[in-house]
């Protein structure tokens, strides 16, 4: 069995940071006021059929609020749960955070890195919103060539991570959810980013319409073939008012619906088929109850889901990469 951190049966992302930097690094979600080409008319005006961005970020993160103020409020928010955290990552999450002129990107990224407790940035974006010039800047930023004299205790240069919303490896699914790009665009963006030595994360949704359990297991080979550092998996959540919610009402037979125990079985099988060196950042998502008609598994928090996943892997005597 692969030597996983923290005595786990899969590669935990928190364990990765503890092993590499000797501490937990907590993300602070930011809204820097970016838009999305799938909303402003460049590609589409409707956005992805599953998306309501307000459901995915906390109250302290709001467009128009200064970046440093969001960071300060985010630190106070997280000190309740993570009182031992010493350093933080500024997580540009809302919409597409490389969708804008390079000068704006430079401004907001360097502003976040001025905070004395922030040691890096995580940039959530779309595969079709990066180019060579933007990625070259990020490479220079993480190599210490941009913010001269920048230093934090234990960190000589800023960390830079780019996290791409890939969602599915199937082009027919991406078209159905109005994603606005195909899988080849995701592969190209991930490869361009990894070639520059920048850590790359990929986000995938489990349960998109038209995809069976077997189909999603089959995607693991493509996911493993990408030069990703980490992956996030979220179960599909039907957010109120989205086109996905309306589609489900009309065609529920196109969606797989899993109870918690079945979902954990499913995630266990996915882990078995993934590259063992991929770090797993998430296996499920949380949406505030007010955004959904009903919560899938009650008010269970992610920490409890992870505990149940550990138990499931132990019961099955299996681990990440066993069938890779």
Confirm whether 47 is domain-assigned. yes
% of the chain residues with pLDDT over 90: 77
- What mean pLDDT is predicted for residues 243-258? 94
- What mean pLDDT is predicted for residues 232-250? 94
Confirm whether 321 is domain-assigned. no
Quote the number of domains for the chain: 1
Query: Residue 234's pLDDT is what?
Result: 94
Tens digits of residue pLDDT in 259-270? 999 999 999 999
Residue 294 confidence (pLDDT) above 90? no
**pTM reported for the whole predicted model:** 0.94
pLDDT band at 245 (very low <50, low <70, confident <90, very high): very high
Query: Residue 19's pLDDT is what?
Result: 86
- What mean pLDDT is predicted for residues 62-91? 89
- Which residue's entry shows tokens 């079709």? 128
Cβ–Cβ < 8 Å for 24, 85: yes
pLDDT band at 291 (very low <50, low <70, confident <90, very high): confident
Give the structural domain span for 159.
5-316
Confirm whether 178 is domain-assigned. yes
For residues 45, 51, 53 and 58, what is the CA-based torsion angle, rounded to 10 degrees?
Answer: 180
pLDDT band at 54 (very low <50, low <70, confident <90, very high): low
Confirm whether 67 is domain-assigned. yes
Query: Residue 35's pLDDT is what?
Result: 92
pLDDT band at 151 (very low <50, low <70, confident <90, very high): very high
pLDDT band at 145 (very low <50, low <70, confident <90, very high): very high
Residue 56 confidence (pLDDT) above 70? no
Confirm whether 323 is domain-assigned. no
Confirm whether 283 is domain-assigned. yes
Confirm whether 322 is domain-assigned. no
Query: Residue 84's pLDDT is what?
Result: 77
Q: What is the CATH number of the domain that holds 137?
A: 3.20.20
Confirm whether 324 is domain-assigned. no
Whole-number CA gyration radius for the chain? 19
- What mean pLDDT is predicted for residues 232-260? 94
Residue 284 confidence (pLDDT) above 90? yes
Q: Which residue has the higher pLDDT, 20 or 252?
A: 252
Mean pLDDT of all residues belonging to the chain: 93
- Report the candidate in 168, 192, 31, 29 with the shortest Cα–Cα distance to residue 96: 31
**Cα–Cα dist 142/160, whole Å:** 6
How many other CB atoms are there within 10 angstroms of residue 38's CB atom? 24
Residue 114 confidence (pLDDT) above 80? yes
Q: For residue 194, which phi and psi values (nearest 5 degrees)?
A: -65, -35
* Residues paired with residue 159 on neighbouring β-strands, in sequence order: 120
% of the chain residues with pLDDT over 70: 98
Tens digits of residue pLDDT in 176-205? 999 999 999 999 999 999 999 999 999 999
- What mean pLDDT is predicted for residues 241-245? 93
Query: Residue 67's pLDDT is what?
Result: 96
Query: Residue 53's pLDDT is what?
Result: 67
Q: Which residue has the higher pLDDT, 64 or 101?
A: 101
Tens digits of residue pLDDT in 296-317? 787 788 889 999 999 999 999 9
Q: Which residue has the higher pLDDT, 10 or 40?
A: 10
Query: Residue 322's pLDDT is what?
Result: 97
Cβ–Cβ < 8 Å for 82, 52: no
Q: Which of 23-32, 47-56, 105-114, 289-298 has the highest mean pLDDT?
A: 105-114
- What mean pLDDT is predicted for residues 12-36? 91
- Report the candidate in 168, 186, 180 with the shortest Cα–Cα distance to residue 36: 180
- What mean pLDDT is predicted for residues 75-95? 88
């Amino acid at each position: 069995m692969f030597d996983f951190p923290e005595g786990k049966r899969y590669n935990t992302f928190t364990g990765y940071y503890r092993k590499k930097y000797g501490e937990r690094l907590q993300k602070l979600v930011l809204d820097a006021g970016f838009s999305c080409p799938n909303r402003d008319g460049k590609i589409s005006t409707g956005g992805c059929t599953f998306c309501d961005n307000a459901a995915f970020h906390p109250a302290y993160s709001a467009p128009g609020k200064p970046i440093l103020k969001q960071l300060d409020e985010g630190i106070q928010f997280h000190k309740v749960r993570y009182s031992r955290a010493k350093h933080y990552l500024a997580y540009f999450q809302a919409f597409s955070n490389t969708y804008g002129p390079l000068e704006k990107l430079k401004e907001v990224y360097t502003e976040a890195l001025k905070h004395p407790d922030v040691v890096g940035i995580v940039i959530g974006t779309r595969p079709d919103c990066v180019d060579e010039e933007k990625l070259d800047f990020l490479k220079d930023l993480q190599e210490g060539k941009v913010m001269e004299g920048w230093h934090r205790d234990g960190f000589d240069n800023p960390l830079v991570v780019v996290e791409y919303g890939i969602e599915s490896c199937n082009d027919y699914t991406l078209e159905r959810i109005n994603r606005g790009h195909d899988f080849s665009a995701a592969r190209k963006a991930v490869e361009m980013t990894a070639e520059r030595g920048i850590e790359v994360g990929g986000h995938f949704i489990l349960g998109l319409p038209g995809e069976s359990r077997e189909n999603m297991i089959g995607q693991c080979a493509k996911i493993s073939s990408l030069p990703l550092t980490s992956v996030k998996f979220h179960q599909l959540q039907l957010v109120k008012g989205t086109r996905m919610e309306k589609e489900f009402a009309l065609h529920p037979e196109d969606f797989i619906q899993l109870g918690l125990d079945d979902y954990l079985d499913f995630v266990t099988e996915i882990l078995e088929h993934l590259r063992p060196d991929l770090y797993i950042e998430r296996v499920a998502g949380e949406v505030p109850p007010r955004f959904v008609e009903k919560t899938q598994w009650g008010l269970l928090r992610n920490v409890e889901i992870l505990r149940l996943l550990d138990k499931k892997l132990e019961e099955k005597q299996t681990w990440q990469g066993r069938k890779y």
